[in-house]
Amino acid sequence: MKFWQKVFLSVLILFVVALNIGMFTVMHFTYKEQLSSVKQRAKGEAYFLRNSISKDFTNLEETSTLTRDKKETIYDSYKTYYMEQNVFLELWSGNSLIGGTFDLNIESRDELDTVDNVQNLLIREVDQEEYLFLACNLEEPYENHILVIAYPLTELTNTRKQLVQMVIATDIAITILLSVILYLIIRKLMKPLKRLSEATGEITQGNYSQEIHIQSQDEFGSLAKKFNTMSERINENINLLQEESDRKQQLIDNMAHELRTPLTSISGYADYMRMAALSEEERIHALDYIIAETKRLEKLSRTLLMIADIREGVLTKTAVSTEQIKIYIQNLFHNQLKEKQILLEVNCEIETIEASEVMLQCILGNLIENAIRACEVEGRITVTFYNHEGTCFTVEDNGIGMEAEEIAKIMEPFYRVDNARSRKHGGVGLGVTLCHQIVKVHQGELRYESEVNKGTKVIVTFTT
């Protein structure tokens, strides 16, 4: 059973029960009031008749003897009037009936057992009809005489039956009307819950961009806003996971390609050396190529391990001297710079830079190495350390430059602007990726500005 059906039935049942209890309680008290009114009327009539008949007996006894026939004559004078009012009378003298208008099949007459002139009242069903019987003694000295009055309760009973029928009919009509109104209200109130359920179903099917539009300020509106926030975050996380998965797959594919090329060359030259009769010069050339490819594989392995260490390690920063860094990079690239007659200029506008010294050496080494590859003979490379909204340094060259499309892809692992030139100088295509990871762990920013045939400028900012 659905939730709205449970709410519908629960509210309907509670209302119907409360309505019936209320209506039947009112009906019961109404009947009691009407019955009490009939009893008061009977008592009044009994009091009047008791006094009247007692006085008539007294008056008659003053002038003559009070015989049974005379008592019956006095009784008859009252009987005719009350029969027209549909009220039945009896007059008893002890256990002897003087006169009566009852034509009823009554087995027991408990009302005749009057004690101390107290009125006896009881309701008795006779021939499937209810009667109110009232019995009382006459006044002294005629207290051995008992007057019995019987009121038929047919009208009251019929009124009660009609009231019951009206209550039942009203109950049915109100229940039907309430059911329709309650159904419409609950269905309207449950629409937001239905939308939430449908949206949840969409999410289980993989549609994480599902949103709910509920214009209300109640709990459903608040729940819808939280649901949309949750759905948005789930969708963002799914997209991030998908992007990360795609990057990992691309890295694996590129790595397989990068490993296959040197391994194929090493295997080919090894087979060549084993199968062919080579001169000493040819053997040395083959060994040099094998050694060069082996070193490239070793460099690839070291770079990948460093990237993994950066992602999982803890950053330890120190105040690194820019002058020491200047000496380090001049010594590191002395032979390469001399070979291509490239001028390296290092400007230190600040004395220290807060960073990991090993990582700083690594990022500068990769950036300057890329700049050397990009420069022609007698090129120029400028490194500058300075402060601008954080600690910054730039590596600028006047080399071949890059297209805008190439700048957008340069962060991708194993991407090379010039494959032939990069492989010739031992590049593995992970330098920029490694630099990006180092800057990221320093909570910094890495930007490229480049123009074809004019050069490239790399700007690194450490914000912390």
Q: Which of 156, 175, 194 is the last residue before a domain boundary?
A: 175
Confidence of residue 457 (pLDDT cuts 50, 70, 90): very high
Boundary residue ending a domain (175, 202, 224): 175
Q: What is the pTM of this model?
A: 0.43
Contacts of 49 (CB under 8 A, 6+ apart): 78, 89, 147, 149
In a domain, 8, yes or no: yes
If 0-12 CB within 10 Å is exposed, 13-18 middle and 19+ buried, where does residue 442 land? buried
Q: Which of 300, 324, 351 is the C-terminal boundary of a domain?
A: 300
Q: Are residues 254 and 358 in the same domain?
A: no
Residue 304: pLDDT over 70? no
Same domain, 458 and 320: yes
- Whichever domain contains 58, its CATH number is 3.30.450.20
- What are the CA-CA distances from residue 456 to residues 142, 438, 453 (Å)? 139, 20, 9
CA distance 52 to 400: 140
What would the two tokens of residue 48 be? 């009047």
d(CA 91, CA 408): 123
- Are 350 and 391 within one domain? yes
Give the pLDDT band (50/70/90) at residue 445.
confident
Mean pLDDT of 132-160: 85
Residue with tokens 């300020």: 217
Measured CA to CA, the distance from residue 168 to residue 174 in angstroms comes to 10
**Nearest-angstrom CA–CA distance, 103 and 392:** 124
Confidence of residue 426 (pLDDT cuts 50, 70, 90): very low
The answer on 162 and 22 residing in a single domain is yes
Out of 253-262, 277-286, 334-343, which region has the weakest mean confidence (pLDDT)? 253-262
Q: Where are the alpha helices (DSSP H) in 153-279?
A: 154-189, 191-204, 219-275
Which pair of structure tokens corresponds to residue 146? 């008992």
pLDDT tens column, 163-190: 888 888 888 898 899 889 888 888 887 7
Same domain, 318 and 457: yes
User: Which pLDDT score is estimated for 261?
Assistant: 60
Average pLDDT over residues 31-44: 86
Q: Are residues 157 and 248 in the same domain?
A: no
The phi-psi region of residue 175 (left if phi > 0; otherwise alpha if psi is between -120 and 50; otherwise beta) is alpha
Here the CATH number for the domain that contains residue 282 is 1.10.287
Residues 154, 12: one domain?
Answer: yes
Domains of the chain: total: 3
Q: Tell me the three-class secondary structure of 387-410, residue by residue.
A: ECCCEEEEEEECCCCCCHHHHHHC
Say if residue 255 is in the same domain as residue 401. no
Residues 245 and 349 in one domain: no
Question: What's the mean pLDDT in 56-71?
Answer: 84
Handedness of CA 427, 430, 432, 435 (dihedral sign): negative
CA angle 163/167/173 to nearest 5° reads 145
Residues 378 and 282 in one domain: no
| CATH number of the CATH domain containing 328 | 3.30.565.10
CA atoms within 13 A on the CB side of 41: 13
Whether the per-residue pLDDT at 420 is higher than 50: the answer is no
Reported as a pLDDT band with limits 50, 70 and 90, residue 309 is: low
Q: Are residues 128 and 262 in the same domain?
A: no
User: Using one digit for the tens of pLDDT, what is the confidence trace for 367-396?
Assistant: 888 899 889 998 999 999 998 877 889 999
Domain membership flag for residue 197: no
Distance CA 213, CA 199 (A): 11
Rg, Å, the chain Cα set: 57
E-only strand ranges, 296-379: 318-321, 343-348, 352-355
Quick one: 296 and 440 in the same domain? no
**Mean pLDDT for all residues in the chain:** 80
pLDDT of 120 > 90? The answer is: no
> Which residue did the predictor score with more confidence, 460 or 230?
460
Q: Give the structural domain span for 130.
A: 3-175
